[in-house]
C-alpha cells in the first residue's frame, strides 16, 4: 500500500481565502505531482516536481503554486480561492519503472469554494 | 481528437462474465501504457502496465496492446461485483515520462 498522505480530506471555504493543501510521502520518491479531477473527467496535471527545489507547471493552467523544500513534502497553495477552483485535487508520487513512472496517489482533497 | 480516448460507459456485465475495456491513443510513438482502477470516491491505483505488443496477463486481468492500431485494452475475466469501478487508461505521450490519462470507463458488474 502506498504511503502518501493528503490533508485535509474535505475543505469548504469562502471566496478570496488563501489555502494550502498538504501532501507528504514516506517512500523517498523524487518525483511528485498534483492533479485536478472533476467528476467523470480526465485527471489534469497542474504541477510536478523532479526533486527538491524543482517545480514545473503541468498541462492545465492553474492559479495555484507549489513548493518542494523537502523530498517528502509537496504542498499546493491557492492565494485567493474562487468558485472555479472547486474540484478534487490528487497528489501523487512515482517510482521509475523502465522508461516511465508508476504513480501512487494520495486519497485526495475535495475542495469546495463558496 | 483527445490524446487518450475511452468510452465513458457505463459498461454493465453480469457476474462471471468477461469485461472488455478499450482505449485508443493519438501518439504513434507512445511506448508505455497503464490501466488504473478508481473506486467511487477513492483515488486511482495502478493495476496493469504494458510496453510490448501482445498480451500481458496478471491473475484475472489481461492487458492487450496493438501499437499499429494505437489501441490498448483491458480484459477482466470472471468479473466480480468488487470490480465495479472506473478504469483509467494512461499513456506516456511524446516521450514524456508523465502519463496522460483518459476520462475513464465506468464498469458495473451486477450479481
Could you say which DSSP state residue B43 is in? -
Å from B77 to nearest chain A CA? Answer: 24
Choose the closest CB to B8 out of A2, A40, A99: A40
Please answer whether residues A47 and A66 qualify as being in contact, where contact means their C-beta atoms are separated by less than 8 angstroms: yes
Nearest 5°: the CA angle A55, A59, A63 is 70
- Percent of chain A at pLDDT > 90 equals 81
Is A100 close to B102, i.e. CB distance below 8 A? no
Average pLDDT over residues B46-58: 93
Minimum Cα–Cα distance from A45: chain B residue: B100
Sequence length of chain A is 114
Q: How confident is the model at residue B1 (pLDDT cuts 50, 70, 90)?
A: low
Is A42 close to B99, i.e. CB distance below 8 A? no
Q: Is A45 on the interface with B (CB under 8 A)?
A: yes
pLDDT of residue B98: 85
Q: Which residues 6+ apart lie within 8 Å of A76 measured at CB?
A: A20, A21, A23, A34, A46, A47, A64, A65, A66, A89, A91
Residue A1 has pLDDT above 60, yes or no: no
Average pLDDT over residues B49-57: 93
Give CA A71 to chain center in angstroms. Answer: 14
What is the rounded distance in angstroms from the CA atom of residue B32 to the CA atom of residue B74? Answer: 14
For B68-105, write each residue's pLDDT tens digit: 999 999 999 999 999 999 999 999 887 788 889 999 99
CA distances from B1 to A47, B6, B87 (A): 24, 12, 20
pLDDT of residue A98: 67
pLDDT of residue A96: 73
The B residues from 3 to 22 touching A (CB cutoff 8 Å) are 4, 8
Average pLDDT over residues A11-33: 95
Residue B47 has pLDDT above 90, yes or no: yes
Q: How confident is the model at residue B19 (pLDDT cuts 50, 70, 90)?
A: very high
User: Best residue in A49, A103, A107, A108 to probe B by mutation, most B CBs within 10 Å?
Assistant: A103
For A26-76, write each residue's pLDDT tens digit: 999 999 999 999 988 889 999 999 999 999 998 777 789 999 999 999 999
Please answer whether residues B76 and B16 qualify as being in contact, where contact means their C-beta atoms are separated by less than 8 angstroms: no
What is the rounded distance in angstroms from the CA atom of residue A63 to the CA atom of residue A87? Answer: 13
Is A103 close to B92, i.e. CB distance below 8 A? no
Q: How confident is the model at residue A97 (pLDDT cuts 50, 70, 90)?
A: low
pLDDT of residue A20: 97
Radius of gyration of chain B (CA): 13
| pLDDT, averaged across chain A | 91
Q: Is A40 left (phi over 0), alpha (psi -120 to 50) or beta?
A: left
Average pLDDT over residues B5-29: 94
Q: Is B1 on the interface with A (CB under 8 A)?
A: no
What is the rounded distance in angstroms from the CA atom of residue A114 to the CA atom of residue B108? Answer: 33
- Give the pairing type, strands B71-76 and B19-25: antiparallel
Give CA B20 to chain center in angstroms. Answer: 9
Q: Backbone phi, then psi, for B88, in 5-degree steps?
A: -100, 130
For chain A, the farthest-separated pair of C-alpha atoms sits apart, in whole angstroms, at 44
First to last CA, chain A: 35
Amino acid at each position: 500500500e502506498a504511503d502518501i498522505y493528503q490533508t485535509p480530506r474535505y475543505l469548504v471555504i469562502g471566496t478570496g481565502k488563501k489555502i494550502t493543501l498538504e501532501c507528504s510521502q514516506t517512500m523517498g520518491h523524487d518525483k511528485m505531482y498534483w492533479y485536478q479531477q472533476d467528476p467523470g473527467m480526465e485527471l489534469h496535471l497542474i504541477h510536478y516536481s523532479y526533486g527538491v527545489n524543482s517545480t514545473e507547471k503541468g498541462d492545465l493552467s492553474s492559479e495555484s503554486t507549489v513548493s518542494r523544500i523537502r523530498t517528502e513534502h509537496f504542498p499546493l497553495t491557492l492565494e485567493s480561492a474562487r468558485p472555479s477552483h472547486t474540484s478534487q485535487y490528487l497528489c501523487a508520487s512515482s517510482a521509475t519503472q523502465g522508461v516511465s513512472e508508476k504513480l501512487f496517489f494520495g486519497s485526495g482533497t475535495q475542495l469546495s469554494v463558496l | 481528437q483527445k490524446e487518450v480516448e475511452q468510452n465513458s460507459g457505463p459498461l454493465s456485465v453480469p457476474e462471471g462474465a468477461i469485461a472488455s475495456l478499450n482505449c485508443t491513443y493519438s501518439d504513434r510513438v507512445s511506448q508505455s501504457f497503464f490501466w488504473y482502477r478508481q473506486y467511487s470516491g477513492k483515488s486511482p491505483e495502478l493495476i496493469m502496465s504494458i510496453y510490448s505488443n501482445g498480451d500481458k496477463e496478471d491473475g484475472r486481468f489481461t492487458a492487450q496492446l496493438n501499437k499499429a492500431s494505437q489501441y490498448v485494452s483491458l480484459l477482466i475475466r470472471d468479473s466480480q461485483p468488487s470490480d465495479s469501478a472506473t478504469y483509467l487508461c494512461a499513456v506516456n505521450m511524446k516521450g514524456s515520462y508523465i502519463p496522460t490519462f483518459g476520462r475513464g470507463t465506468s464498469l458495473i458488474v451486477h450479481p
